Structure 1
Amino acid sequence: MKKFKKVLTEVLSEYGFEIKGNIFRAETRELIAVVATQKSNYENSYYINLGFLIKL
Structure 2
Amino acid sequence: MTRPVFSPDGRHVAFSAYETVSDPDTYLRRLYVSAPDGAGLTAIADTYEEPTDWLG
Q: TM-score, normalised by structure 1?
A: 0.45
Which structure has more helix as a fraction of its residues? 1
Q: TM-score, normalised by structure 2?
A: 0.45
Is the radius of gyration larger for structure 1 or structure 2? 2
